[in-house]
Amino acid sequence: MKKLKLILFFFSITTALLAQDAPMQKLVLSPEHPNPGDEITITYNTANGPLANAMHISGVVYTFDNFKWIANDITLKPSGDKKWETKMKLSSHASFINCVFKSDTIVDKGEKFPHAYMFAQVPGSYTGWGILRSKAFENEVPNVVHDSAFIADQVGLMWINYELQYHPESRKKIFYYGLKLKKLASGKDESVAIKKELRSLLTDTNLDHTTQYDVQKTLNLLENTKDKVFIDSVQKVLLTQYPLGVLARDRKIQEIFREVDFAKKVKMFTDFEKNFPQNKFEDVYTDLESLYYDKMVKSIVYGYIVNNKDYNYALNSVKTVSFGNLLDYHWHLVSIPFNRDHDGIEKSSIETLKKYADIIMGELENRLTFVPKMYEGKLSLNEWKQQALQMLAREYFTYAHLAEKTKNYDLEEKYLAKIKPLYGYNDAAYNEVYIRMLLRKGQTADAKNYMALAVKQNQVSPEILTSLKEIYLKDGGAATGFEAYLESLKSLSNIEGHKKKVISELINLPIAGFDLESSKGGRVKLADQKGKIVVLDFWAMWCGPCKNAMPGMKMAVDKYKNDPNIKFYFVDTQEYIKDYKEQTQAFIKEKGFDFNVLYDGKNPKTGKMDVAYEQYSKAFKFSGIPEKMIIDADGRLRWMSNGYFGSPSELLDEISIIVEYLKSEKK
C-alpha cells in the first residue's frame, strides 16, 4: 500500500510537470488517467498557439512502448472554441506519449513544453520522458521536441534514476542510457561503474538483440586504449554466447564488405544470409549496418553485372534489399541507360528498360506501405511517404518518361501527377513532358496556361517555346508580336534578380590562346577572334549534363546567328574512343544542332585529348564539364560557369546577359 501511495503521489507531480502551461493546457486526454490499451480522446487546444487559425490539423503520436518508439499518424477534427480532437487506441505497453501537431508547413512541437503525457505506473515512463529531451540521444529517439525543450544531462540522469526507483525491473532496458548520462553529467571517468554494470549484465545468457547492441554501445563509452582488455573480453563473451547474434553479424558484414575476391565474397554472402536472415534482425539497426550493409550488397549485385553481364541477380533480389538499394538499382539499371538512349548514344532496348523498371518500381511502391526499420519509431507512415517522395522523384520522372516512350499514357500521367507538387513549373525537363501530355490529350488551354507559368519561372525548353508559339498563332496572334508576348509572361523581378546575380560574376583576366581543329573544316585560333565576343562550351560525348545543356546553348546560338561579332565554339574534350569525331558529328546531326565543334588537341604530357581544357582548368582553377567561358572583344576572359542546372531558358538568359553587357561596353 505504501508503494502504491508513493507512485500515485509521484504520478500527480509528473502530470503537473507535463502540463506546465496550465491553466491553458494544450493537450488533454480523456479519460483523464488512461491505461495502456485504452481508447482515448486527444483534445488539442490551439488558442494562442501557432495553429490557432489552421483550417485542418493532423499530427503524429510518438509512443514509448516496451522501451521502443512507435509513431502513429492522427487526423483531428474541430470540436469548437479553437479545440481539435481525435480518438486513438493506446498500444498495449504504452508508458509515455508525445504529440506533434501540423497544418501545411506549420508544426507545433510545444516548444519548451512538449505535448506529452506519462503513464507513470508503466515501466519505461520516466525513461521515455527523459531521453526524448536529452540531446545525448537526439539521433537515437524521434527528433520531435523543440530545441528549447532539451534538458541538462544531470536532469536526464534524474529521470533515469526515477525509473530505477519506481521500476527496478527496467534496469536491463535502460543501463545504456543511464551510464551515458552519468558519464556526461559527471564529466569524469566512469569506467568502474560501466564495467561493473556490464559484468553483472553478462551473467544473463539470454540477452535479446536490443540488449546485445546496448552492450556494444556502452563499450563505446570506454577508452579504447586504456580499457582495451576489458572491451576485448566483453566482445569475446558476446561472440561466444551469441555466435549468431548482433556483434557476430556486424563483424561478418564488415568482413564481406572488405573481401576483394568476388567469388569468395559471393560465397561468404550466401552463408551470411543463411546464418543471419534479415527477418530475424528487424528489431535492431546498428551503426555498422547503416555504414556497410547496403554497400556490401551493392558490391555483389554490381559485381555480377560488371563481371558476368548478369542482371538477374539484381532483379531477383528486389524483395530483400533496402529501399536505398532499390533506388540505386533503378538509377543504374533504368535511368542512366534510358537517358543515354534519349541522348542518342549507347542505345538500350526500351523493352528491356521497361521490364527492369516495372520490377523495381513495383517493389519501390510496395515499400511505401510500411516504414523501413532504419526509420521505425522516428517517422510515421505518412512522414515516411513524404520523405520517400523526395527520394523517388527523379526515378518517378524517368518512369513517367519511359511510359511516354512506350505509349503507356495512363501510367505516364499517374507518375507525372505524383511529382507535380515537386517539379511542376519549376523544372524544364518535367515541364516539357507534362506539356506534351496535355497537348496529346487535347487540353490546349491548360497547356497554354501551364506554359505561361513555366515561362514565368524561366523553366522552358526550345520545344516548349515552339508549342507556345503555335498556340499563340492559332489564337490569332501575329508572328511579329510573339517575342513581345513572351516577354510579357516573364517575371520582371526574376529577370532583374537573375541579371544582377550574373553581372556580379563578371571577371577580367588574361587568357592564353588555342589552335584547334574545327568540325566545319580548317582550324580555329583564339588569336584570330579579336574584336569578337567568343563563347566557349567545353563538353564531351560521355557527359550527360553537357548534352542536357545543349538545347539552351542552341537557343543562344540561334539568338545570335546573324551577329558576325558573336562566335560560339563547342570544344569536344577528354574523349577516349577512337571514332569520337564520327560519333560527335552523328549526335550533333541527329539533334539538329548547327554547332561549330572544336576537337581538343592531344596533350603531349598525358596523351589525353585535353590540351586546351587542361590549360584553362589549371589557370582558372575549375574541374569537370560542362564548363562555359565568355571572352570579350579584347581577348580577355570575362565570365565562367561550371555545370548545368536544368533550364534551357535560364542558360540562354545567362549567356545573353553577359553578351549584351560586353556589347554595351564597346558603345
Question: What would the 3-class secondary structure string for 245-268 be?
Answer: CHHHHHHHHHHHHHCCCHHHHHHH
Determine contact, residues 98/132, Cβ cutoff 8 Å.
Answer: yes
Determine contact, residues 284/248, Cβ cutoff 8 Å.
Answer: no
Determine contact, residues 367/47, Cβ cutoff 8 Å.
Answer: no
Q: Is the pLDDT of residue 401 over 80?
A: yes
Please give the CATH superfamily to which domain 503-666 belongs: Glutaredoxin (3.40.30.10)
Angstrom distance (rounded) from CA 401 to CA 75: 35
Q: Is the pLDDT of residue 357 over 80?
A: yes
Among residues 196, 116, 190, 199, which one has the least CA distance to residue 159? 116
Confidence of residue 14 (pLDDT cuts 50, 70, 90): very low
Question: Residues 346-352: what's their mean pLDDT?
Answer: 76
Confidence of residue 199 (pLDDT cuts 50, 70, 90): very high
Integer angstrom CA distances of residue 569 from 42, 140, 546, 621, 648: 67, 55, 14, 21, 18
Confidence of residue 8 (pLDDT cuts 50, 70, 90): very low
Across 462-481, b (16+ Cβ under 10 Å) vs e yields bbbbebbbeebeeeeeeeee
Q: What is the DSSP string of 80-105?
A: ETTEEEEEEEPPTTEEEEEEEEEETT
Cα Rg, the chain, nearest whole Å: 32
pLDDT in tens, 476-515: 999 999 989 998 998 888 888 889 999 999 999 999 999 9
Of 18-27, 99-108, 525-534, 657-666, least confident by mean pLDDT is 18-27
Q: Is the pLDDT of residue 1 over 50?
A: no
Cα angle, residue 412 at apex, residues 411 and 415 outer, rounded to 5° = 85
Cell output for 134: 536529452
Cis status of the peptide bond prior to 372, with omega within 30 of 0: no
Q: Is the pLDDT of residue 342 over 60?
A: no
pLDDT in tens, 433-456: 999 999 999 999 999 999 999 999
Determine contact, residues 511/635, Cβ cutoff 8 Å.
Answer: yes
Residues paired with 525 in a beta bridge: 515
Question: Residues 575-601: what's their mean pLDDT?
Answer: 91
Residues paired with 78 in a beta bridge: 84
Q: Is the pLDDT of residue 219 over 50?
A: yes
Q: Is the pLDDT of residue 349 over 50?
A: yes
What pLDDT score does 276 carry?
97
Q: Is the pLDDT of residue 24 over 80?
A: no
Cα angle, residue 265 at apex, residues 263 and 266 outer, rounded to 5° = 65
Residue with cell 538500350: 348
| Amino acid at site 589 | K
399-405 contact pairs (CB < 8 A, 24+): 399/330, 399/334, 399/357, 399/361, 400/433, 401/338, 401/342, 401/433, 402/334, 402/338, 402/350, 402/353, 402/354, 402/357, 404/433, 404/436, 404/437, 405/350
Determine contact, residues 60/144, Cβ cutoff 8 Å.
Answer: yes
Q: Is the pLDDT of residue 516 over 90?
A: yes
What pLDDT score does 32 carry?
92
Q: Among the residues of 168-261, which ranges form H helices?
A: 171-186, 191-201, 209-219, 228-241, 246-258
Determine contact, residues 665/567, Cβ cutoff 8 Å.
Answer: no
H helix count then E strand count, the chain: 26, 16
What pLDDT score does 564 carry?
94
pLDDT in tens, 66-119: 999 999 999 999 999 999 999 999 999 999 999 999 999 999 999 899 999 999
Share of the chain above pLDDT 70, in %: 95
Confidence of residue 11 (pLDDT cuts 50, 70, 90): very low
Residues paired with 654 in a beta bridge: none
Q: Which residue has the higher pLDDT, 4 or 450?
A: 450
Residue with cell 556502452: 218
Question: Residues 161-178: what's their mean pLDDT?
Answer: 97
Please give the CATH superfamily to which domain 4-186 belongs: Immunoglobulins (2.60.40.10)
Cell output for 148: 528549447
Strands 115-118 and 515-518: unpaired
Residue with cell 519501390: 364
Q: Where are the domains of the chain?
A: 4-186, 190-242, 424-490, 503-666
Q: Is the pLDDT of residue 13 over 50?
A: no
Angstrom distance (rounded) from CA 350 to CA 353: 5
- Mean residue pLDDT of the chain comes to 92
Global pTM?
0.88
Cell output for 29: 486526454
Question: Residues 163-171: what's their mean pLDDT?
Answer: 97
Determine contact, residues 609/573, Cβ cutoff 8 Å.
Answer: yes
Determine contact, residues 433/465, Cβ cutoff 8 Å.
Answer: no
What pLDDT score does 667 carry?
67
Angstrom distance (rounded) from CA 505 to CA 621: 15
Q: Is the pLDDT of residue 17 over 80?
A: no
| Amino acid at site 2 | K
Angstrom distance (rounded) from CA 391 to CA 255: 30
What pLDDT score does 343 carry?
46
